[in-house]
Amino acid sequence: MRIRALVIRILRQITRDKRTMALLLFAPILVLTMLNLVFNGEDYQPKVGFVSVQEALLEKIDQDGAVITEYANEKEANEDLAKQVIDGYVQFGSNGPEISLEGSDPSVNTAVLKWLQMALKPLQGNKEAIQQLEIDYLHGSSEMGQFDYFGPVLLGFFVFFFVFLIAGVSFLRERTTGTLERLLSSPLRKWEIVIGYVIGFGLFTVIQASIIAAYAIYVLGMLMEGAFGYVLLITLLLSLTALTLGILLSAFANNELQMIQFIPIIVVPQVFFSGLFNLNTISEWLSWIGPFTPLYYAADALRNVMVRGYGWGEIQIDLLVLAGFSIVFILLNILALRKYRKI
């Protein structure tokens, strides 16, 4: 009888929390749907360039299964390779085909080489000839592993996830323990309270992000072609974005459980649009979500620095967008405080 009463109480408690009920049904469906769209998307089509190839020779090449671009000279091909317009290009020298790859994504490299092996087979008596060629890599090398390519995305994700969670729960406790209420009754302005919390929590997140980045690069041996200072700057801005977003969403939670409920709705979906999966294979009607997520820009910037060795010129737009996210979330936090005090 007592067990029955306890069971009934728990069931009533869950059913009364509409947000928990919705999460139990909606979150698994959302994640499973995204996984289905990612893994059942279209096969990746390599983007291959041909430099100064005679028309008669080009006609003998099997061009099915790839996006082909013709170039008049090697300079134009290299420019598009650096911009990732193409994944690689082929030119024919005295010793046969010469292959140049962008190289930053091992899975794309494999797809390009596999396609070239089939496409150039009609031109070669030995089907293994292409495997014996020396291949030039703009970034990375033949020894580059999947962890080197996915590492920057995972680094950004873990920084974002833990800062978001810690900031949200910590600010929630400030509310539930009455600290925020006392601050609101003081002469402090709303923007001063928000900025104070952002700086206070921000100092901790800077240390956290720095330790995570340093450990991943110098202990785990994650590929690092660019300057470590840029990695710290990117993780700092990403942490600030996660911090301000976590504080904002904590205003709509009444306890830690409800704060955690935002994770499968806000954090998990960003993984699918951060570059951990090839965005070219995701359904077009879904891929537009990526540019509206902070992790999309952080992962792009981290990969440009760590894998491709780029500097400020290539990552400045990503950094400005991350800073923009933080400013928007700070302004929304100031507005959210009106929920507790009207001035």
Domain map (residue ranges) of the chain: 2-39, 47-137, 146-339
Percentage of the chain surpassing pLDDT 70?
80
Whole-number pLDDT of residue 6: 64
List the helix and strand counts (H, then E) for the chain: 14, 5
pLDDT at position 234, please? 93
Distance of CA 161 to the CA centre of its chain: 12
Q: Would you say residue 216 has pLDDT above 60? A: yes
Ranges 55-59, 162-166, 168-172, 308-312: which has the least confidence? 55-59
What integer pLDDT is reported at residue 165 of this predicted model? 85
Q: What is the pLDDT of residue 166?
A: 84
Kindly indicate the confidence band of residue 317, based on its pLDDT and cuts at 50, 70 and 90: very high
Tens digit of each residue's pLDDT (9 = 90 or more) over 20-45: 666 666 767 776 776 676 666 667 88
Does the reported pTM lie above 0.85?
no
Written as six digits, the tokens of 239 are 């942490």
Q: Is the distance from CB of 62 to CB of 80 less than 8 angstroms?
A: no
Q: Positive or negative, the Cα torsion across 325, 292, 216, 110?
A: negative
Residues 260-289: pLDDT tens digits?
Answer: 878 888 888 888 888 777 766 676 667 778
pLDDT value at position 127? 46
Residue 56: both structure tokens together: 């008669």
Q: What is the mean pLDDT of residues 146-160?
A: 86
> Which residue from 105, 103, 108, 75 is spatially nearest to 91, judged by alpha carbons?
75
Q: Find out if CATH 3.40.190 is the number for domain 47-137.
A: yes
| Mean pLDDT over the full length of the chain | 80
Condensed to tens digits (0 to 9), the pLDDT of residues 81-129 reads 888 889 888 887 767 778 888 888 888 888 888 888 887 776 665 444 4
Q: How confident is the model at residue 343 (pLDDT cuts 50, 70, 90)?
A: very low
Taking the C-alpha atoms of residue 81 and residue 78, their distance in angstroms, rounded to an integer, is: 5
- Separation of alpha carbons 169 and 191, rounded Å: 20
How sure is the predictor about 191, in pLDDT bands with cuts at 50, 70 and 90? Answer: confident
Per-residue model confidence (pLDDT) at position 132: 55
Residue 110: the pLDDT is 85
Q: Could you give the percent of the chain with pLDDT greater than 90?
A: 12
Residue 113's pLDDT is what?
85
